């Protein structure tokens, strides 16, 4: 066993939280249940580091599950938030910042003409699905196994992330009829989706997927597969929805659609778009987005949608990302980490596979290739849990599940990457012994 950190105060805080909050947390993955640990309560974040209430310091690869691409508390965002705080935190009326951020998004995403802001990634995908159904006048959707699109009823079937971590198929409370309208097919597999289209051709409103997954760990299906989905949806009059809540502004400024030069009909965004504030958005071609109320018949609304504090944080973040140099830097740090970890795996002959796209990566505890949800489920989850525990105790904060992606922020230094490679080596070596 390597060293152990003291987490007395976190233990106490968790015990108290469990009395008043279901499971002690406001989102299940935070409970650390898959790794047989208790959650760490955070005091503050600065740059690449998180500090817990026991005074421990961690190098962070969670980035608040993706949004904090600039690191914690970036000055550019802090400044805009302070200015807005003086003016007021919410008006429920239009502000010019909303148009500014929407315009910037259309600039980054050629497939997007119009953007509707919501408050979370869940709302973004839920609304995109409603719009797809309303626009096509069809009911069924195709979802890919292991992709997570938030906790909306239609999309909570064979989902990744927390659902996968807890090892459950869906959720009680989602009606059978709702689930029946969601057809789930394996990721990275063409035959099954062809068969579904043969059977239900004129009933499929949309295919929704994470174009590169994060919620069953990082899996990149490649351009050919995404081109195939673009083609088959077009042929059948269905919409193609890219859920870029995680990959948007992350793997490239224009997400997976930029990386692979594909134009989906609709896109869902979240995380980075709010710069650490609760924001989501759905967006797409003018003729589809004009179907949304008040111009069109598909209703969707929100008291705090386009909230000025959230818009300021998002806009300040996106402005930093305007300069594509940020992505070149993230790529170079990611490549360094990848080379180091792959070298460790090889030196130790450790049964693991490393996947990375830009600043998103996952170390799968598998001897075999990982191409879909089933392959991730076949990973050695106990070994993952042991790895996680040792890494945390070495001061490296990672997502507490094999079914998740790690994120590199701009704030991470070359030295931090070297430290991570060294710790990874120490821990893998310890696990092998």
Catalytic positions:
148, 243, 271
Residue 243 interacting with ligand PLP (CB under 6 A):
yes
Separation of alpha carbons 106 and 289, rounded Å: 13
Separation of alpha carbons 155 and 313, rounded Å: 28
What tokens does 32 get? 């650390």
Residue 246 interacting with ligand PLP (CB under 6 A):
yes
- In whole angstroms, how close is the CB of 146 to ligand PLP at the nearest point? 11
- Stretch of residues binding ligand PLP (CB under 6 A), selected from 119-127, 281-289, 304-312, 335-343: 119-127
- In whole angstroms, how close is the CB of 128 to ligand PLP at the nearest point? 10
Residue 80 interacting with ligand PLP (CB under 6 A):
no
- In whole angstroms, how close is the CB of 243 to ligand PLP at the nearest point? 5
Query: Mapping DSSP to helix (H, G, I), strand (E, B) and coil, where does residue 240 land?
Result: strand
For residue 16, what are the contacts with CB-CB under 8 A and spacing of at least 6? none
- In whole angstroms, how close is the CB of 373 to ligand PLP at the nearest point? 14
- In whole angstroms, how close is the CB of 270 to ligand PLP at the nearest point? 5
- In whole angstroms, how close is the CB of 324 to ligand PLP at the nearest point? 23
The Cβ-side half-sphere exposure at 255, using a 13 Å CA radius, reads: 32
Separation of alpha carbons 164 and 329, rounded Å: 32
Nearer to ligand PLP, 161 or 424 (CB): 161
Residue 245 interacting with ligand PLP (CB under 6 A):
yes
- Determine the residue with CB nearest ligand PLP: 121
For residue 339, what are the contacts with CB-CB under 8 A and spacing of at least 6? none
- Stretch of residues binding ligand PLP (CB under 6 A), selected from 39-47, 143-151, 302-310, 373-381: 143-151
Of 10, 63, 84, 120, the one binding ligand PLP (CB under 6 A) is 120
The neighbouring-strand residues paired with 118 are: 280
Residue 146 interacting with ligand PLP (CB under 6 A):
no
Q: How many residues interact with ligand PLP (rule CB under 6 A)?
A: 17
Tell me, residue by residue from 21 to 60, as one string, x for binding to ligand PLP by CB under 6 A and - for no binding. Answer: ----------------------------------------
Of 121, 255, 334, 399, the one binding ligand PLP (CB under 6 A) is 121
Nearer to ligand PLP, 111 or 428 (CB): 111
State how far the alpha carbon of 83 is from the alpha carbons of 99, 186, 244, in Å.
18, 47, 30
Nearer to ligand PLP, 213 or 233 (CB): 213
Cis peptide before 294 (omega within 30 of 0): yes
Tell me, residue by residue from 194 to 233, as one string, x for binding to ligand PLP by CB under 6 A and - for no binding. Answer: ----------------x---xx------------------
Of 14, 41, 72, 148, the one binding ligand PLP (CB under 6 A) is 148
State how far the alpha carbon of 65 is from the alpha carbons of 116, 275, 368, 407, 409, in Å.
22, 12, 27, 8, 11
Nearer to ligand PLP, 215 or 312 (CB): 215
Residues 108 and 253: beta-carbon distance below 8 Å: yes
State how far the alpha carbon of 210 is from the alpha carbons of 66, 188, 225, 311, in Å.
14, 11, 12, 24
- The residues in 281-300 that bind ligand PLP, with binding defined as CB under 6 A, are none
Chain mean position to CA 26: 17
Chain mean position to CA 185: 20
Separation of alpha carbons 259 and 220, rounded Å: 11
- In whole angstroms, how close is the CB of 152 to ligand PLP at the nearest point? 9
Classify residue 162 by burial, with Cβ atoms within 10 Å: 0-12, 13-18, 19+: buried
Residues 198 and 191: beta-carbon distance below 8 Å: no
- Stretch of residues binding ligand PLP (CB under 6 A), selected from 52-60, 137-145, 239-247, 318-326: 239-247
Residue 400 interacting with ligand PLP (CB under 6 A):
no
Separation of alpha carbons 268 and 129, rounded Å: 10
Residues lying near ligand PLP in the complex (CB under 6 A): 65, 120-122, 125, 148-150, 161, 210, 214-215, 243, 245-246, 270, 280
């Amino acid at each position: 066993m390597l060293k152990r950190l003291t987490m007395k105060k976190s233990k106490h805080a968790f015990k108290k939280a469990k009395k008043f909050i279901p499971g002690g947390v406001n989102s299940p993955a935070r409970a650390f249940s898959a790794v047989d640990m208790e959650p760490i309560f955070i005091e503050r974040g600065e740059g690449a580091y998180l500090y817990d209430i026991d005074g421990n310091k961690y190098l962070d690869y969670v980035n608040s599950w993706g949004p904090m691409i600039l690191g914690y508390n970036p000055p550019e965002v802090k400044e805009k938030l302070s200015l807005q705080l003086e003016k007021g935190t919410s008006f429920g009326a239009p502000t010019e910042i909303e148009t500014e951020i929407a315009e910037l998004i259309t600039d980054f995403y050629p497939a997007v003409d119009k953007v509707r802001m919501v408050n979370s990634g869940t709302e973004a995908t839920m609304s995109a699905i409603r719009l797809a159904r309303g626009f096509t006048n069809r009911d069924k959707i195709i979802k890919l196994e292991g992709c997570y699109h938030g906790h909306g009823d239609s999309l909570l079937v064979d989902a990744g992330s927390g659902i996968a971590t807890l090892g459950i198929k869906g959720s009680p409370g989602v009606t059978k009829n709702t689930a029946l309208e969601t057809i789930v097919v394996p990721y990275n597999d063409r035959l099954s989706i062809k068969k579904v289209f043969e059977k239900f051709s004129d009933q499929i409103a949309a295919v929704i997927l994470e174009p590169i997954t994060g919620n069953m760990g990082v899996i990149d299906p490649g351009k050919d597969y995404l081109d195939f989905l673009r083609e088959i949806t077009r042929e059948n009059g269905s919409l193609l929805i890219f859920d870029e809540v995680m990959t948007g502004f992350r793997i490239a400024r224009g997400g997976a659609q930029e990386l692979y030069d594909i134009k989906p009909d609709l896109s869902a965004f979240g995380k980075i778009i709010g710069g650490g504030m609760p924001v989501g958005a759905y967006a797409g071609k003018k003729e589809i987005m004009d179907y949304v109320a008040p111009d069109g018949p598909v209703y969707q609304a929100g008291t705090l949608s386009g909230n000025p504090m959230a818009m300021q944080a998002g806009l300040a973040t996106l402005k930093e990302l305007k300069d594509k140099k940020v992505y070149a830097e993230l790529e170079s740090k990611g490549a360094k980490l990848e080379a180091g970890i792959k070298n460790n795996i090889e030196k130790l002959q450790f049964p693991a596979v490393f996947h990375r796209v830009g600043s998103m990566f996952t170390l799968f505890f598998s001897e075999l290739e990982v191409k879909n949800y089933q392959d991730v489920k076949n990973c050695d989850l106990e070994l993952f849990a042991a790895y996680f525990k040792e890494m945390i105790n070495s001061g490296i904060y990672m997502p507490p599940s094999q079914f998740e992606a790690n994120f590199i922020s701009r704030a991470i230094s070359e030295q931090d990457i070297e430290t991570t490679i060294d710790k990874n080596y120490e821990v893998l070596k310890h696990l092998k012994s």
